[in-house]
Amino acid sequence: MKKYSFILAILLLFSACDLYESPITQTDKKSIFSSAEGLEAYSISFYNTLPSANDLHSAEQTLVDYGAPTSINNFIFSGAYSETTSSGWDWGNLRNINYFIVNCIDPAVPEGTRNNYLGIARFFRALFYFDKVKRFGDVPWIDKALDVDDPELMAPRDSRELVMEKVYEDLQFACNNITRTTDAAGCSLVTKWVAYALASRVSLFEGTFRKYHNLNLATSAATWLKRAEDNAAALMANSGKTLNNDYRALFTSDIPPASETLLAVCSSAALSVYHNANWIWTSSTYGSAENLIRPFINTYLQKDGTPYTSRVGWEYEDLYEECQNRDGRLAATIRTPGYVREGKIALPEFGGYARIGYQPKKLCVDATNGDTKTENTNALQLFRYAEVLLNYAEAKAELGTLTDADWANTIGKLRGRAGITGGLTAKPTQVDNYLKNTYFPGISDPSILEIRRERAVELILEGFRFDDLRRWKRGELLKMSWEGMYIPYINQAFDVDHNGTPDVIYYITDADLDAAKAATGNWNQYSATCATVQVSTDLTSAGIQVHAAGSGYYLAWRTQEDNKKVWGNKQYFYPIPSLVMVKNPNITQNKGWENGAVNNGE
C-alpha cells in the first residue's frame, strides 16, 4: 500500500521520535473534530504507521530460519548487538493516535460515526503496542496526548499483563464499532474484518507466548487462545471471505484478489508509487540476496499429502527431481525447473543470486523490467484470510479442541488449493519425524506439528516467521546451517531442468572449467541460459562451499561462520536503547542486556 502523504494544517502535528520531545506546533482543532469529513481526513494519517512495500523487505526479514542471506543478521551475530545499537523505542505515532482519541468527543458528530473513527484509531493503537510488546516486553502504557511537563514522561514500564489487556480492549472496541466491511479501493483501508484478523493474530501470539515461555500471568494462555479462536471464528462466519484459487496471484496482482485479501500494501504506476520486490529478489548485490535452505524445502509435502522425506532417495535428489509431485506452493515460492519469464526459461541465477540454488520468486512479478530498478506495482499482503484459518486451527489445536471438521475447513482447504490430494478431511494421527526432529523436538502432537508446517509454507516471506519462532520459543532455529541444493557432480556440466541441455558447471579451478566446457561440446551456445560458479570444499571468495553427500554434493553458504550465530533467552526481547534510560532512569533494561551486555548466546 502506498504511504499516505497527508498534511492537515488544522491538526496538532507531532514530529517527536520518543517520549521526551515536545510537539512542534498546535492550531485550532474544532473544524477537524466537529465533522465526519474531518475525522475521516485525520484517520488517513494513521496509515503512515503501516509498513511500506519496501519495508516488507527490511533487514529484519533476514531473521528467519528458512533463509540464507548474504550475511548473518547482527541480532544473532555474536557480539554485534547491544543496548547501544538497539532501536525501536519511538512513540511519535502513538502521540498522533492518542491526540485523536482524546479529542474525538464533539457531539456535533453522531456517536456511531465518532465510534467508527475511534475504532480505527484504537485499531492502530493496538497494532502499535503489539509491535512494542513483541520487541521489548513490558512498556509504558500511555493513553493520552502528553504535554512536555506530564509526569508520565518519567513513568516506568507497565506490566505485559496490563498492556496486553489494554490492547485487547482496543481491538474489541474496533471490532464492535468499525462500520466499513468492504473496501472497493483495493483492500487498502482498515475494515471491521481487518480488526478481527488482528485480534486473532495478537491473541494467538500472546496465548502461545505465555504457554511456551511459562508466563504465569493473571490472564492465562488458554484465555488468550480462546480469544484467538473466537475472533477468527467470527471473521470466518461473517466476513464472506474465501481462499483465492490462485495462490501466486495473491502476490503478483496490482489489485489484490478481494476474495481473500483483508488489507494490502498497494502501489500505483499512475501515482508513481513503486516498490523494489523484483530488484530485491533478483539482484545478488542490491538486497540481502536471500536463498532458501534445503531443510526447509524438505518440509513441503508431496501432492498426495505424504512427507517428501518419506520417499526413497530424497536425500540425493537434484533440483528437478525434488520439485516433482510437490505442494504447488513450492513452485509459486521459488524458481523451479519449468519456470518461464517473458517466454524464456528462467532457472535460478546460479552465477549470481542463487548461490545455493533456491531463489525466491513469491513476491516478484514475471516481467523483468523491475529487476534492476524500483518498478514494481504488485500489491503485497498485510492481512489475508489464509492467516485467519491458520490462527483458528492453531488456537484450537493448542487448546486440544481441534476436530476433523475444523481441520477440513482450515488446513484441508489450504492444502487443497495447493494441489494436495491426501489428508484433507481428517486431522493427522502420525508424527512426521523429520519435521519433529529438525524443527520441533519438543512437540509430539501431530496436529500442532502439521499446522506449524502449514503456517511456514503458506506464509513464507510475509514477515511472520521471526514472530512465530519467538512465540514458540524456538529461536535456536536461527542458528541453522545454510545448506542448499544437491548437485550430482562438480567439474562437469549438468542439466538442471532435465531438458537435454547442460545448464551449469560448478568447478574448482579454471582448468577444470575449461575441461568441462570442452567435454560438453559447444558450451557457448548455452551461455545465455547457463551459469558458472567457482566452489571448493574451502571458503572461496564467493563464500560458497560444497559438502560431499552420497555420490554428489550439497551446496552450502558461510557454514564456517556457524559458530558465530548465537541465540539465548535474552534474545526473545530486544534491549532497551541506552539513551532511553539516560533520559528516564525509571526505565529498566531487559534481563540479560544490562550494563552494555552483547548478544552472546546466554
Asked whether the predicted pLDDT for residue 147 surpasses 90, the reply is: no
Report CA-CA distances (Å) from 498 to 44, 320, 321, 343, 360.
53, 7, 9, 18, 21
Among residues of the chain, what percentage have pLDDT more than 70?
92
Asked whether the predicted pLDDT for residue 535 surpasses 80, the reply is: no
Average pLDDT over all residues of the chain = 91
Residue 485 main-chain phi, psi, to 5 deg: -75, 160
Give the pLDDT band (50/70/90) at residue 210: very high
> Among 349, 331, 328, 329, which Cα is nearest to 339's?
331
Q: In what order do the strands lie in the sheet with 552-557?
A: 483-487, 552-557, 544-549
User: What pLDDT is attached to residue 531?
Assistant: 65
Asked whether the predicted pLDDT for residue 6 surpasses 60, the reply is: no
User: What pLDDT is attached to residue 15?
Assistant: 34
Q: What is the pLDDT of residues 366-387, one digit of tens each?
A: 999 999 999 999 999 999 999 9
User: What pLDDT is attached to residue 398?
Assistant: 98
Between residues 499 and 10, the one the model is more confident about: 499
Do 544 and 356 touch, CB atoms closer than 8 A? yes
User: What pLDDT is attached to residue 538?
Assistant: 40
Q: What is the pLDDT of residues 350-367, one digit of tens each?
A: 878 999 999 999 999 999
Q: What is the pLDDT of residues 114-139, one digit of tens each?
A: 999 999 999 999 999 999 999 999 99
Between residues 23 and 28, the one the model is more confident about: 28
User: What pLDDT is attached to residue 532?
Assistant: 67
Q: Which residues, in sequence order, are CB contacts of 54 under 8 Å at separation 6+? A: 275, 276, 374
User: What pLDDT is attached to residue 457?
Assistant: 98
Asked whether the predicted pLDDT for residue 111 surpasses 70, the reply is: yes
Q: What is the pLDDT of residues 249-263, one digit of tens each?
A: 999 999 999 999 999
Q: What is the pLDDT of residues 542-597, one digit of tens each?
A: 578 888 999 999 999 999 899 999 999 999 999 999 999 999 999 999 999 999 99
Distance CA 338, CA 347 (A): 8
Record the cell numbers describing residue 144, joined without a space: 493520552
User: What pLDDT is attached to residue 18?
Assistant: 53
Mean pLDDT of 315-339: 98
Q: What is the pLDDT of residues 468-495, one digit of tens each?
A: 999 999 999 999 999 999 999 988 889 9
Between residues 534 and 167, the one the model is more confident about: 167
Mean pLDDT of 255-280: 95
Among residues of the chain, what percentage have pLDDT more than 90?
79
User: What pLDDT is attached to residue 14?
Assistant: 35
Do 210 and 220 touch, CB atoms closer than 8 A? yes
* Model confidence, pTM: 0.94
Distance CA 456, CA 291 (A): 16
